[in-house]
Amino acid sequence: MLVLTRKEGESIRISDNIVIRIHNIERNRVRIAIEAPVSIPIYRQEVYERIVEENKQAASQVFLKDKEDLLKLNKKVGVK
Amino acid sequence: MKINTTRFGELEIADEKIINFPHGILGFENNKKFFLLDHDKDNDVLCWLQSVEIPDLAFVVANPARFFNDYIYNLKDDYLKILSTDNAKDLVTFIILSFYDKGNLITANLMAPLIVNIEKFVGTQAILDEPHFTTKHQLYPAEEKVAAK
């Protein structure tokens, strides 16, 4: 892993299209400004992990085996 | 094109019905192509979003308006660029559902919905900057539903 020291207002450039700038530094908090192409998604790590976890949970519905099972569920949630 | 699926067998899906997710779905970023199965836009409760590439990868998705009256959010410009539109009328929102206890408890991910440009068949999973939306809002049983306020 590369570790660099930067001061407030300084930047790091990654490849030719990503710039990460240290916007400001407080006691235990750093604000970071990121410029990157839209094709590169940027996430807060803990948010990314939470959503990946939820997606994996959602994708593992082994009890739903076919269309019939979903139709049954449709009735269940569709009827108020 | 013919698509092999674990749950539904081999399906013939028109190429123009395939939705391209250029960034994939988080955790499944390598899978960019999905299609909606049993999606009836006039009467949609739940439907499947099936992967083209992975036979057993499918999500149960729903129209949030059917379950959450006040599900309103702002979409960042970056997502509109991915979806190549600036017209909200082109966009349809789906929430991904998770099931527990064989479907006796169902939750919806309101924090990261799938948004699809239905004109261009391009979609993305957006992470909303709305602190009151979480990844697990109870959808069923409805009487204990957590209000998506």
The amino acid occupying position B61 is V
Residue B119, SS3 per DSSP = coil
Query: What pTM, to 2 d.p., does this model score?
Result: 0.89
Contacts of A38 in chain B (CB under 8 A): 78, 81-82
**pLDDT at residue number A70:** 84
Residue B149 has pLDDT above 50, yes or no: no
What's the pLDDT tens digit per position in A1-13?
999 999 999 999 9
What's the pLDDT tens digit per position in A16-42?
999 999 999 999 999 999 999 988 999
- The tokens for B14 are 């028109």
What is the spatial distance between Cα B31 and Cα B19, in angstroms, rounded to a whole number?
11
**pLDDT at residue number A64:** 85
Q: Which of A4-13, B31-40, B119-128 has the lowest mean pLDDT?
A: B31-40
**pLDDT at residue number A77:** 86
Question: At A80, is the pLDDT very low, low, confident or very high (cuts 50, 70, 90)?
Answer: very low
**pLDDT at residue number B43:** 64
Which of residues 71 through 90 in chain B touch A, CB cutoff 8 A? 78, 81-82
What is the spatial distance between Cα B51 and Cα B21, in angstroms, rounded to a whole number?
10
Nearest chain A Cα to B47, which residue?
A: A70
Cβ atoms of B121 and B19 within 8 Å: the answer is yes
Average pLDDT in the B43-65 region? 91
Average pLDDT in the B67-80 region? 91
Contacts of A65 in chain B (CB under 8 A): 7
Annotate B17-70 with three-state secondary structure: HCEECCCCECCECCCCEEEEECCCCCCCCEEEEEECCCCCCEEEEECHHHCCCC
Cβ atoms of A5 and A12 within 8 Å: the answer is no
What letter would DSSP give residue B80?
A: H
Nearest CA to B21 among B36, B32, B8, B13?
A: B32
Residue B128 has pLDDT above 50, yes or no: yes
Residue B99, SS3 per DSSP = strand
The mean of the pLDDT values for chain A is: 92
What is the spatial distance between Cα B87 and Cα B77, in angstroms, rounded to a whole number?
11
Number of neighbouring beta carbons within 10 Å of residue B4: 13
Nearest CA to A23 among A38, A6, A40?
A: A6
Question: At B148, is the pLDDT very low, low, confident or very high (cuts 50, 70, 90)?
Answer: low
What is the predicted ipTM?
A: 0.90
Would you call B139 an interface residue with chain A, using a CB distance cutoff of 8 Å? yes
Cβ atoms of B105 and B99 within 8 Å: the answer is yes
Question: At B147, is the pLDDT very low, low, confident or very high (cuts 50, 70, 90)?
Answer: low
